[in-house]
A and B are shown apart, each in its own frame.
Chain A
Amino acid sequence: MSDTQWETYEVFHQSRRGKPHEHVGSVHAPDPAMALQMARDQFARRLECVSLWVVKSKDVTQTDYQDPNFFSRMFDKSYRDPKAFDAPAKEKE
């Protein structure tokens, strides 16, 4: 059967200036301009919103949940943490 439901766009919503855009879901739309309108009616009809981004779902490149190594951190890397450099109170005097 042919799919006539249009492709999907991921929607990012910014509630006010200064806040990050947040992923809120996706819409089916025929093109980017209509995707923005569909996103506005679906995701901004109640919530305060100053900006919407839409990106074709197929343009999102993502990591693989099943890859155990992409985010691996096996050895102690606390040297990267600012706290690792706090001198003990005694030595400061």
Chain B
Amino acid sequence: MLNLIKYEIRGKLLTILGICLTVIIGNLFLMTKVSSGGIGIPLLSTVLGIGALIVISISTLTIMSDYLYDDQGYLLFTLPQSGVSILASRLITAVIQISIVGIVSLAMFCLLDQGRTWNAMLQGATLPEMLYSILMYLWTIVSTLTFIYFCMVIGRIALKGKKIGKIGSFIIFFILSIVRNGLAFLIANFFPQIVQFDSVTTVTMNIGSTLFDVMIFGLLFMATSYLLEHKVDL
């Protein structure tokens, strides 16, 4: 599994560096305009950062679709690696990729506004809240990606053809998302118990729907691993 991570990162090294460089240069350029731009400058920096994150997120999807549809899949799927190993390494690499870009964007933004926003955030925040944020950040990436990968793998197995497969995956994702959110909503209504804690922001978590989300993630992870190992036909 570690080897898979190593090679996936090496494969996308240019992309990651390219994006980071763009963010850095873009922000350096913005810094020269700080005095004259007003509120627009930090805004542009944020937009740049978000753009960078979108690009790197898309790249986490293209890696999987390359495996499923391109000749590279022959190399990966003949390795003696289990489906769990392949999926786990993919998720970990994605977290690493996104985090690198995220940290660079955030760092550049802080440089830009001289750390004012950062300090303001840190003052109000408690340790549990910071841990919670990080946990939520990781959870969002991992659970969303697993969900998308599941739809991609189903699309690959059920539908023939690259274009049809990809469009089909998207449609499946769309439909399943609605179903999933609908169910989560229903569960939240039936079990309105919540957990709440306040600090900088008030965080409200519905126990029922959170448990539901975790269960779904677990199920989809196992299902995707199984399908990758036993059902993908190249």
Q: Say whether A and B bind each other.
A: no
